[in-house]
Amino acid sequence: MVLLSLDIDGTMEVGDPPGWIPLEWIHRAKAKGYVVGSASDRTKTDQRLLWERHGIELDFIDHKHKLDEVKARFPETTRWIHIGDGEADALYATKHGFEFHFVDAVPEEGSPGWIF
């Protein structure tokens, strides 16, 4: 099973500033059985309200510096991916054993490392 963690600001199309990852990716990942959530610098309440406004139910909402705790909550996962736009995203993702992709360098569909 795959766990997909997404930063919000600068990463998601609904972020501030907007990123290029569309909300459709969340629906696509969930349809494939992925564990999907957000790991951001925003408060959990702010993250939760954002997703509620867009009618999206995630499997987790947490902070990027706690990706180790996210990973521990889903022991059945075998692949962990975090997508973000900053050095803090890269630092915490790699520190906690996640594959990391900068939002502007996500592998293209069909290429090695492609998330779907």
Report the C-alpha dihedral over residues 28, 70, 41, 36, rounded to 10 degrees.
10
In a domain, 62, yes or no: yes
Q: What is the pLDDT of residue 10?
A: 98
CA distances from 3 to 16, 17, 18, 31, 53 (A): 24, 24, 23, 13, 23
CB 21 within 8 A of CB 56: no
In a domain, 1, yes or no: no
CB 80 within 8 A of CB 115: no
The token pair at 3 is 């766990």
In a domain, 96, yes or no: yes
Q: How many domains does the chain have?
A: 1
Q: What is the pLDDT of residue 1?
A: 96
Residue 101: closest CA among 83, 116, 85: 83
Q: What is the pLDDT of residue 61?
A: 98
Q: How confident is the model at residue 54 (pLDDT cuts 50, 70, 90)?
A: very high
Q: What is the pLDDT of residue 55?
A: 97
Which domain, by its residues, includes 99? 14-42+53-105
pLDDT tens sequence across 63-109: 999 999 999 999 999 999 999 999 999 999 999 999 999 999 999 99
DSSP string, 54-70: TT---SEEEEGGGHHHH
Q: How confident is the model at residue 38 (pLDDT cuts 50, 70, 90)?
A: very high
Question: Distance between alpha carbon 10 and the CA centroid of its chain, in Å?
Answer: 12
In a domain, 114, yes or no: no
In a domain, 9, yes or no: no
